[in-house]
Amino acid sequence: MIKANFGLTKEPFNHDEPTLLPQQKKMAEMIKIHSQHGGFSVIIGNPGVGKTVLRQHIDNWGKERGTVVVSFSRTMHTYLNILKQIGESLKVDAPTSQLEKEIIQAAFDHIRERKTLYTLIDEAHLMDMAVLKKLRLLFERFPKKHNLVLFGQRDLLYYLSMTINEDIKSRITYSQTVLPLNDEDLKRYIERELDVVGLGHNTFDDAATELILRSSQGNLRLCRNLCYGSLIEACRDNQRSVSIRQVNDVLVQPHWRSHAELIKQQVELTS
């Protein structure tokens, strides 16, 4: 609908080319640096602040020559099932009894080909710490030029700070928190998304942009969803620009009203 209405070849806010903002760019650069000596990285943040965008960006490194990326988010599985996910990503076909050994061998094979290996675990805060301990032992046998990156919510840091998990925490070489974005960063994000598909920055008028920023409360995912939903409303109205009316048409939906009430409660609790 959006492509047809605006005469585009791909949709803004809904494509496989994630737009990195400054804090995400810095994290990506640091993860690359730490990968050169066997890094163990932890990226923390509330839902929607940009962890997924960063993970997708690193996923895309796997398309580059000299880089292998293993990525999975089904973290509530047993160690064996997670091991199978890793094996599938590395194209390892081996019986269960030999799976660990063959995964390690595959990792060394990639390094001998002068490749850098990244293992990305999304929603790591949902993972059983006993499983993570086993994974830590597995990755300890991996060669250098490998970076294990855990993406999770703040609960992950709480679990890692427990004395019983000191063996994991002491091996972290880099960690960072993805912070909620300020209005300037969110506006820059909107403009870059419009640039990617060839739309003008005036596609959202000033009043619409101001309302989107205010309603997003620094949350990148909410900003993305609100922009995308507003574009759909503009298409329904046969308009080629978004006004405050279309943004309000999205905000009156029940899930947005619930979010607004939650934000109000958070402000009241912190005031």
pLDDT at 21: 86
pLDDT at 38: 84
Per-residue HEC secondary structure of the chain comes to CHHHHHCCCCCCCCCCCCCCCHHHHHHHHHHHHHHHHCCEEEEECCCCCCHHHHHHHHHHHCCCCCEEEEEECCCCCCHHHHHHHHHHHCCCCCCHHHHHHHHHHHHHHHHHCCCEEEEEECCHHHCCHHHHHHHHHHHHCCCCCEEEEEEECCHHHHHHHCHHHHHHHCCCCEEEECCCCCHHHHHHHHHHHHHHHCCCHHHECHHHHHHHHHHHCCCHHHHHHHHHHHHHHHHHCCCCCECHHHHHHHHCCHHHHHHHHHHHHHHHHHC
Full set of structural domains in the chain with CATH: 22-177 (3.40.50.300), 181-263 (1.10.8.60)
pLDDT at 256: 82
pLDDT at 73: 83
- pLDDT mean by block of 10 residues, the chain; 271 residues: 88 77 93 90 92 92 91 86 90 91 94 92 92 92 92 91 90 93 92 92 95 92 94 94 94 77 52 51
Prediction pTM value: 0.83
pLDDT at 258: 67
